[in-house]
Amino acid sequence: MIVILKSNPNREQLESLINWLQEKGITIHTSIGESHTILGLVGDTSQLDIDLIAALDIVDDVKRVQEPYKNANRKFHPEDTVVKVRDTQIGGGTLTIMAGPCSVESEEQVVSIAKAVKASGATMLRGGAFKPRTSPYSFQGLGAQGLEFLKVARQETGLPIVTELMDISQIPLFDDVDVIQIGARNMQNFNLLKEVGKLDKPIMIKRGMSATYEEWLMSAEYVMASGNQDVILCERGIRTFESYTRNTLDLACIPVLRKLTHLPIIIDPSHATGKSWLVDPLAVGAVATGADGLLIEVHNDPAHALCDGAQSLKPEAFDTLAKKLLKMHNFCAALEG
């Protein structure tokens, strides 16, 4: 971090700033220029409140030269993180395909979709038991019973289950879930992030609808700082001025996150577009851009789905797409040499 002082700073205030920084274990390199003095701060500056320093009378400007996240930062962990989930993995050159209904509606529904997506090449079953709905009058999910139906589907297919946790109070119910999803609306629920950081279970964090890359990575940092290093990032579209699609899919996040972090990246073209016919091209684009995997909503009867039918693929359409995705993944691997 670099602190640029105003000209002729008050001596006492400068000494008190320097003492305060040194007490925090920061080493200070001072460079005195003609008009400005610059303090170069070396050490763990992630603990410093940049706004607090910038607000001091003697300070003209403060600039970070290092990102505020450490655990999630590729600089301190150059190797890609590979998250093991039962006998499969996320990251490390594999293509993860998470598929399933937005909401678990019944045992028969989730088991039949799980069998269909498995036969097409899905590697994980994704379905919601606790649903964060914009309206309190919409279907809220089957809750604990939905989790039981997901476990039955896992038993029948062998597919690990990915499902959303909405609240700290639900944690005990998620003991036997393979990957916990933290939804877009909860991306900055810091208490929840700290609690799932204490679990020995992979956590997939969906990007908040107006979150910057840094805010998203700071959410990952919350989980990792609490001890859990198995974090997966999921882009699900952000809010922009465009209203044709439900959200705007930010595929640029893939190369950007690759540079900034070692964590695996999953792309969700279903929630990003809200339209089933847009899922196929964007899923293929995501694989071409280097995603570690996809999250795709599949429903046996989208017209009657209790949630997100318009963006759900029928099993036949998913089958065609899954085959394309594997081809694209192999093609990209060959291109990379």
For residue 105 the two structure tokens come to 């509606």
Query: Of the listed pieces 21-29, 56-64, 79-87, 97-105, which binds Mn ion according to CB under 5 A?
Result: 97-105
Per-residue x/- marks for ligand PEP, 223-242, CB under 6 A? -------------x------
**What's the closest the beta carbon of residue 196 comes to ligand PEP, in angstroms?**
15
Q: Is 232 in the site for Mn ion (CB under 5 A)?
A: no
Partner residues linked to 5 by β-bridges: 59
Taking the CA of residue 306 as centre, how many other CA atoms within 13 Å lie in the half-sphere pointing to its CB?
20
Task: Give 255-291 as a DSSP string.
Answer: HHHHHHB-S-EEE-HHHHH--HHHHHHHHHHHHHTT-
Applying CB under 6 A, among 21, 114, 116, 184 the residue interacting with ligand PEP is: 184
Q: Which does 184 bind (CB under 5 to 8 A by kind): ligand PEP, Mn ion, none?
A: ligand PEP
| 102 near Mn ion, judged by CB under 5 A | yes
| 160, 183, 269, 302: residue in contact with ligand PEP (rule CB under 6 A) | 183
Residue 174 φ/ψ, nearest 5 degrees: -95, 10
The item of ligand PEP, Mn ion, none sharing an interface with residue 299, based on CB under 5 to 8 Å by kind, is none
Chosen residue from 118, 154, 206, 246 binding ligand PEP by CB under 6 A: 206
Q: Can residue 208 be called a binding residue for ligand PEP (CB under 6 A)?
A: no
Helix, strand, or coil here: 2? strand
Residue 95 bridge partners (DSSP): none
Which part of the chain contacts Mn ion (CB under 5 A), choosing from 80-88, 191-199, 283-291, 301-309? 301-309
* Residue 143 found at the interface with ligand PEP (CB under 6 A): no
- Please tell me what DSSP assigns to residue 73: B
- The answer to whether 128 contacts ligand PEP (rule: CB under 6 A) is yes
Stretch of 21-29, 109-117, 182-190, 282-290 lying at the interface with ligand PEP (CB under 6 A): 182-190
For residue 229, the number of C-alpha atoms closer than 13 Å in the C-beta half-sphere is: 11
User: What's the rounded Cα separation, in Å, for the pair 70 and 224?
Assistant: 9
118 binds ligand PEP (CB under 6 A): no
Give the residue closest to Mn ion by C-beta: 102
Amino acid at 285: G
How does strand 231-235 pair with strand 265-267? parallel
- Contact between residue 220 and residue 261 where contact means Cβ atoms under 8 Å apart: yes
Q: How many CA atoms lie within 13 A of 179 on its CB side?
A: 32
Amino acid at 231: V
Handedness of CA 156, 158, 159, 163 (dihedral sign): positive
Which of residues 41, 48, 95, 102 is near ligand PEP by CB under 6 A? 102
105 near Mn ion, judged by CB under 5 A: no
Of 90 and 279, the one with the shorter C-beta distance to Mn ion is 279
Given 195, 235, 280, 308, the residue binding Mn ion (CB under 5 A): 308
Closer residue to Mn ion, CB minimum distance, 67 or 308: 308
Contact 284, 325 (CB under 8 A): yes
Q: Kindly list the residues in this chain that would bind ligand PEP in the complex (CB under 6 A).
A: 102, 128, 132, 183-185, 206, 236, 271
